Chain A
Amino acid sequence: MQSPTIIVAVVSMLLLPVAGSSAQGVNDAQIASIVVTANQVDIDAGKLAASRSTNGDVKGFARLMVTDHTGVNKSATDLAARLKVTPQDNPTSQSLKSEGDKNIATLKTLKGDAFDKAYVDHEVAYHQQVIDALDKTLIPGATNAELKALLVKVRPAFVAHLEHAKSLQSSLSKGH
């Protein structure tokens, strides 16, 4: 009785990554959710920083994050609607959301230079993390050609943001 159960378990484990998802373990609906959540998290942090920071460069960066990530999200949601893909919650999007919420909660306890440093440090780490996810999981995992093209297209903006955040990071550390 034991061995058929084991075989069934093994077979279903083998089949799981194939049925409805790519070799990378995420399907297009999940990728759409990851993209939308990743952008939304950075829009929320940007809105907070644009209103709370007293540093002109940090405020400018924060406003740019709101503008750019809103633009990317519009393209992503438009495409998802056109492809009739409903973004599907998954462990990656959930952890992005909870990390984003945690970041906002931390930032709300800070002000002045400490706020700027925490916001910018997080932006550097966040953009690096998203670029890594694009390269290792999202772009290779996307099965729909248009979704894959959108992810490829969005990458240079994230790289530019990362460079921008790094240069802010170094100017903030020089200032103090």
Chain B
Amino acid sequence: MRTATFAAALGLMLGMVGASVAAPSKAKAHTVTIEDMRFQPADLVVAPGDTVVWINKDLVAHTATSQVGGFDSNLILASDSWRYTVQKKKGDFAYICTLHPAMKGTLRVK
């Protein structure tokens, strides 16, 4: 019994240690390239705390604007970029370029 309890306790401690070490380093950096009048990738799965950078490689200005709320880059000029830290609220955030509304993307916050 004692050994088993000890092992369980040790396992729990290790697990906790593992969790506490892993949590802060899990935030990922994502890139969305804006090129040829498209967001690439158009569909991106992210987690709260991750960062997403939109890089505009087109010759014209664009925006990444979520019309359901959440984020709005305002103008991202040609050859410029915009960085966003993903907020806590989970769900699918559809976004468009307000200048060229045919350009569509989705951030899936999980």
Contacts and interface: CB of A to CB of B under 8 A. Distances in A.
A160 B37 CA distance: 7
A38 interface: no
**In which size bucket is the chain B interface?**
10 to 19
Given A71-B78, A160-B100, A160-B102, A153 B37 contact: no
Contacts of B100: 64, 160, 164
A44 interface: no
A159 B102 CA distance: 12
Contacts of A156: 36-38, 58
B59 A75 contact: yes
B60 A71 contact: yes
Interface string A50-92: 0000000000000010011001101100000000000000000
A161 to B, nearest CB: 9
A163 B100 CA distance: 11
Nearest to A73: B59
B102 A71 contact: no
Contacts of B37: 156-157, 159-160
**Which secondary structure dominates chain A's binding surface?**
helix
Given A160-B102, A164-B100, A164-B102, A71 B36 contact: no
B61 interface: yes
Contact of B59 (A154, A159, A163): A154
B72 to A, nearest CB: 17
Nearest to A71: B60
Contacts of A74: 78
A68 B100 CA distance: 10
A157 B100 CA distance: 9
Interface of B: 36-38, 58-61, 77-78, 99-100, 102-103
Given A71-B59, A71-B78, A160-B37, 8 more contacts: A64-B100, A67-B60, A68-B60, A68-B99, A74-B78, A150-B59, A157-B60, A164-B100
